[in-house]
Amino acid sequence: MEEAKSRLRRLSGFEIQWRVVNALVYRELRRRVSDVQGGFLAVLLEPVGQIAVWAALRLIIRQASSVNNLNIWLFLATGVILFNLYARVAAHGLTTMEANKALFFYRRVKPIDTVLAKAIEELGLYSLAAIIVFGLVWAYLYNLVLQNLPLLVISFVLMALLAVASSLLSLVGSYYFPNLKQVLSWINRALYLASGVIYAPMDIPQFARDFLVWNPLLQCIELARKALSIDYQIPSQVTLSYPAGFALVYLSLALWCYTNNEKVLIRR
Amino acid sequence: MIRVNSLTKSYLYKGKRKRVLDDLSFEIAGDESIAVIGANGAGKSTLLQLLGGIDVPDRGKIQCDGTISWPVGIEGGFQGSLTGRENVTFVSMIYGERHEIDDRIKFVEDFAELGIYFDRPFKTYSSGMKSRLSFGLSMAFPFDYYLIDEITAAGDQKFREKSKRLLLDRKKTSNFLMVDHNLWGLKIHCNRAFLLESGRITEYANVQDAINIHTKTLLAELPPESDVSNAA
């Protein structure tokens, strides 16, 4: 039997977190591979199914193959993929304590690590879904002009950061208010409708648009669409600085809330 | 060295707070292994969990200048749908250096002797297989302190003998904080004892002395033999 060699090294907090998040991403990806129902295919099929339904409705009802100068498939793909990324990570905070209870036997694993790992994993998988959908559009319709790749990447990252903040707040909130789960599922549905997933903000009345542009999720989705086509019209209030600033403040608040409650969360 | 100051822990039980550990303070030197003795429900496992950082105290401070294991042999940290190998890889990624991960996996694979089951989902394992894997995994990492809670009771004769030998080997380089109703095991591995009663600790320089007092107290609580046979 080969012996375990060197002594365990005491690590810095950052080193520990880096290792733990890496390991959790590995564990979750392996779990998805072995779990057919929640596997990789489900991640790809879920947004594709939604895109197909909304595209079919639009094509039948309005007979429009583009929305506000952006190909209908690209328009819906950005909305559905980005929103699903947000929703899945945000919802994770509600269930992570119960689902990962056993993991906290390893003292290096903290609740926040499971949220970060989930965000990285979903960001990777939904980015892959986006690449596949964009690739299909390009292959079949020759209609993909990637106008601003950095802006597209930033939109995805900002969406993931907003999701991490929501997830951390749900994590803490659900400890104090166990019924939060039902409330949040309604909030998520309302956000789906308020984030411009299936409509362009420029196509709705001015008074509604002026109200909805305060939603940072809508701003991220609009920026991603703008990144795909320079001809896509976005409201003047949509700027990169708004969702970036919002994400910074929101994430700081969520981290403050989490760090003040971490001990309470892991207390048995 | 482990230094504990004013450690207090309580649990909510039927709407009331029940204090399990009450203002404990003690020190464990860098070359000491401690037997934690006490009746069922005295707070032995709670104390180990607090020392391992798995639970947090209501009050008090724990300082340690070395590394402390998770409670050895705990099976809860395994993901049922993942194979033994994948579960071991996961923990090795957290506790091992990157270049040592393969060595850790090999160590556990050799110790657990699961054969092809090492690459099958954990949820398909028998309880004996789970014990072998979890004990092997705990021993794959050279911690300064191992938290050992009732491990010697698990598994078949061969596994218990293998575990005993591995523990003796680890004892050369590490220290143990041990809870075990098999008091004989405590004597082999530990050189000092803490007797836990009513949330307080009494320290004993000699493990046998603590065992004698603990056994005497337990037996004194038993009703006379004639009463037991009448009740039966």
Q: What is d(CA B148, CA B35) in angstroms, rounded to the nearest whole number?
A: 10
List chain B residues with CB under 8 Å of A19: 93-94
First to last CA, chain A: 37
Q: What is the mean pLDDT of residues B159-170?
A: 85
Q: Are A202 and A130 in contact (CB under 8 A)?
A: no
Helices (H), A145-266: 149-176, 180-194, 206-212, 216-228, 241-259, 262-266
Distances (CA, A) of A250 to A121, A237, A257: 21, 19, 11
- Which of B90, B107, B120, B135 to mutate to test binding with chain A, by most A CBs within 10 Å of its CB? B90
B5 domain-assigned: no
Give domain status of residue B187, yes or no: yes
How much is the average pLDDT of B104-114? 93
Q: Which domain holds residue A248?
A: 13-266
Cα–Cα distance list, B212 to A143, B183, B186, B216 (Å): 84, 10, 13, 6
DSSP, collapsed to helix, strand or coil, labels residue A10 as: coil
Cβ atoms of B217 and B198 within 8 Å: the answer is no
Q: Is B58's pLDDT higher than 50?
A: yes
As a whole number of angstroms, the distance between CA A245 and CA A247 comes to 5
B100 interfacial to chain A (CB closer than 8 Å): yes
Q: pLDDT by residue (tens digit) across B65-87?
A: 888 998 886 677 888 888 999 99
Cα separation, B148 vs B192, in Å, equals: 15
**In this predicted structure, what is the pLDDT of residue B229?**
57
B71 vs A: CB within 8 A: yes
Chain B residue numbers with beta carbons less than 8 Å from the beta carbon of A4 are: 103-104, 107, 139-142
Give the best residue of A29, A107, A265 to mutate against chain B (max B CB count within 10 A).
A107
Mean pLDDT of A107-133: 91
How many domains does chain A fold into?
1
Query: How far apart are the C-alpha atoms of A44 and A94, rounded to whole Å?
Result: 23
Chains A & B: contacts with CB separation below 8 Å:
95
Which domain, by its residues, includes B74? 26-53+63-231
User: Is residue B155's pLDDT more than 80?
Assistant: no
Angle at A35 between CA B91 and CA B140, to 5 degrees: 15
Is residue B132 classed as helix, strand or coil in its secondary structure?
helix
Long-range CB contact pairs, B100-104, < 8 A, 24+: B100/A5, B100/A6, B103/A2, B103/A4, B103/A5, B104/A4, B104/B140, B104/B141
Instruction: Round to whole Å and give the CA distance between B55 and A107.
Output: 9
* Residue among A11, A21, A30 with most chain B CBs within 10 A, to mutate: A30
Asked if the Cβ–Cβ distance from B76 to A102 is below 8 Å, we say: yes
Candidates B56, B66, B94; nearest CB to A108:
B94
Average pLDDT over residues B121-138: 90
Which tokens hold the place of A179?
């019924």
Which of A116-120, A217-221, A243-247, B128-132 is the least confident region?
Answer: B128-132
How many Cα atoms within 13 Å fall on the side-chain side of residue A72? 16
CA A210/CA B83 separation, integer angstroms: 53
Residue A96 belongs to a domain: yes
The Cα B70–Cα B51 span in angstroms is: 9
Q: What is the mean pLDDT of chain A?
A: 86
Contact across the interface for B140 and A9, Cβ inside 8 Å: no
Chain A residue closest in CA terms to B106: A2
Q: Which of these ranges, A35-44, A134-143, B121-130, has the smallest mean pLDDT? A: A35-44
Confidence check: pLDDT of B175 > 60: yes
The pLDDT assigned to A100 comes to 83
Q: What is the pLDDT of residue A4?
A: 46
Nearest by CB to A107, from B70, B100, B103: name it: B70
> pLDDT value at position A39?
60
Residue A5 lies in a domain: no
pLDDT at site A97 = 85
pLDDT for residue B91 is more than 90: yes
Query: Is A98 an interface residue toward B (CB < 8 Å)?
Result: no
Enumerate residues 6+ apart whose C-beta is below 8 A from A259: none
Interface of A with B in 21-50 (CB under 8 A): 22-24, 26-27, 30-31, 34-35
What is the Cβ-side half-sphere exposure of residue A181, based on CA atoms within 13 angstroms?
Answer: 9
Q: Count the neighbouring beta carbons within 10 Å of the beta carbon of residue B167.
A: 22
Q: Does residue B199 lie within any of the structural domains?
A: yes
Q: Is residue A170 situated within a structural domain?
A: yes
Domain of B176: which CATH number? 3.40.50.300
In a domain, A80, yes or no: yes
Closest CB to B54 among A1, A20, A104: A104
A252: confidence class by pLDDT, cuts 50, 70, 90? very high
Q: Average pLDDT, whole number, for chain B?
A: 86
Q: Which of B46, B74, B71, B42 is nearest to B60 (CA)?
A: B46
B100 phi and psi angles, rounded to 5 deg? -100, -5
What tens digit of pLDDT does each residue of B132-145 get? 898 899 999 989 99
According to the per-residue pLDDT averaged within each range, which of A125-139, A175-189, A213-227 is highest?
A: A213-227
Give the pLDDT score at A49: 80
Q: How far is B224 from chain A (nearest CA, A)?
A: 39
- pLDDT score recorded for residue A37: 59
Query: Is there a domain that residue A1 lies in?
Result: no
Cβ within 8 Å of residue A179, ≥6 positions away: none
pLDDT at position A216? 97
Question: Which residue would you say has higher pLDDT here, A103 or A7?
Answer: A103
* CA nearest to A36 within chain B: B81
Tell me whether residues B107 and A102 touch, CB distance under 8 A. no
Q: How confident is the model at residue B226 (pLDDT cuts 50, 70, 90)?
A: low
Give the DSSP H or E segment for B48: helix B44-51
B2 within some domain: no
Interchain pair A22, B93: CB under 8 A: yes
Q: Residue A201: its pLDDT value, please?
A: 92
Q: How many domains does one find in chain B?
A: 1
Task: Nearest by CB to B94, from A19, A35, A268: name it.
Answer: A19
Selected for mutation to probe chain A from B83, B94, B159, B169 (highest A CB count within 10 Å) is: B94
Q: Residue A50 falls within a domain, yes or no?
A: yes
pLDDT (tens digit per residue) in A134-178: 888 888 876 666 788 999 999 999 999 999 999 999 999 999 998
Q: Taking CB atoms and an 8 Å limit, are A5 and B100 in contact across chains?
A: yes
Would you call B76 an interface residue with chain A, using a CB distance cutoff of 8 Å? yes
Residue B95 lies in a domain: yes
Decide if the complex's ipTM is over 0.85. no
In a domain, B208, yes or no: yes
- DSSP for residue A201: G
What's the token pair of residue B157? 């004769």
